[in-house]
Amino acid sequence: MSFALLRNPVRRAAVAGIRATPRANAGFRASFRYNSTAAPTPKKSNTGLYLGIAALAVSAGGLYYVNATKEAGSANAGAHVKANFVPTRDDYQKVYNRIAELLDEAGEYDDGSYGPLILRLAWHASGTYDKDTKTGGSNYATMRFQPESLHGANNGLNIARDLMEKIKKEYEWISYGDLWTLGGVAAIQEMAGPKIPWRPGRIDGFAADATPDGRLPDATQGAAHLRAIFGRMGFNDQEIVALSGAHALGRCHTDRSGFTGPWTFSPTTLTNDYYKLLFSETWTWKKWNGPKQLEDKGTKSLMMLPTDYVLVQDRSFKKYAKAYADDINLWFKDFSKVVATLFELGVPTEQFATKEPWIMKTLDEQKA
């Protein structure tokens, strides 16, 4: 069944109530590794990067960067576009549309959509931000480089990067940071989620800008760990819980995180079922040889990670999780705001092409 069918509003309403057991995980998937040639390390001077930022050409419709030095030093450089080309909002909408089409080209991959995978790429590319050192975040798209591309938390994201590389070749003028975060926006919106405000302006950095391992959440940990990881990015308890709802989408894989299974019965449609299930189901520890995870007592087909279950154990987290379980509109509002913030972490305000973020139209809206 084509994932595109899920876009129909009537279908969305029906899916939210579906409680059919999802297909079983077809054994262990082949292990993937992102084997890239190490990027050349630039000289210690940041002159090239500063010149690139200084050369920003801003118009009401878009942003273009002229930085030959930076392009020469980037492992994935190669965007050779006309010097007078200034992308407009319509140009970015075309990129969005191509990403949205790509989501439907998954075939038998997972649950028939690349959406959850592309969203995970955008999140992991942004979630490395450190507010104290002002390093990490989506600005430099450093997951293109080793060792960051090989960090355990990024296992399997070589698939997402390869998929997005196809689009990069079609639209060479867009930066990787803008492409990946726009991909996250498209994934959320095309999977029946809320509108995510977004604007372009990220630039591509060097391998030397890559972040150290350990900046992304460890799913085996508890409340203190979540507060430390997300607090480093600048998020509070309410925002931590709101972001966690993205686990309504996708599934875990034994050859990537070590865990297995989906969180909800509709892993390609964004609903507040993640929160509902945390409260409505009885969760027990899964008996298996893998890492500690929970499974629903009824069907044993769903899973929750220790960092998920802590949302109903910690008093502060629990009140927000219950509020989102009771009101999807409240969660969509808070989720939209915090995701927009996440995707802009690490990007200097002056780099953005527009003061106010844009709302990109879904494929359905453009057909109406």
Q: In what order do the strands lie in the sheet with 294-296?
A: 283-285, 294-296, 303-304
Instruction: For Cα atoms 145, 151, 155, give the angle at the middle one, nearest 5 degrees.
Output: 100
Give the CA distances from residue 231 to residues 58, 129, 142, 217, 223, in Å, rounded to whole numbers and listed in that order.
33, 10, 21, 11, 12
Concerning whether 124 is annotated as a catalytic residue, the answer is yes
> For the stretch 44-62, what's the b/e string if a residue is b when 16 or more beta carbons lie within 10 angstroms of its beta carbon?
eeeebbeebeeebeeeeeb
Q: Which of 180, 263, 283, 331 is catalytic?
A: 263
Q: Which of 124, 151, 247, 253 is catalytic?
A: 124
Look at residues 30, 345, 291 and name the one whose alpha carbon lies nearest to residue 159: 30
Q: Is 115 in a helix, a strand, or coil?
A: helix
DSSP for 5-58 reads: GGGSHHHHHHHHT--PPPPPP-SPPPP-----PPPPPPPS--HHHHHHHHT-EE
How far apart are alpha carbons 178 and 139 in whole angstroms? 8
Give the CA distances from residue 66 to residues 63, 69, 251, in Å, rounded to whole numbers and listed in that order.
10, 9, 40
Q: Which residues lie closer than 8 Å to 146 by C-beta, 6 or more apart?
A: 34, 36, 38, 207, 210
How far apart are alpha carbons 325 and 215 in whole angstroms? 28
- Where are the extended beta strands (E) located within the chain? 57-58, 63-64, 251-252, 261-262, 283-285, 294-296, 303-304
Residue carrying structure tokens 């490395």: 128
Concerning whether 247 is annotated as a catalytic residue, the answer is no
Q: Which residues pair with 283 in a beta bridge?
A: 296
Q: Which residues are known catalytic residues?
A: 124, 263
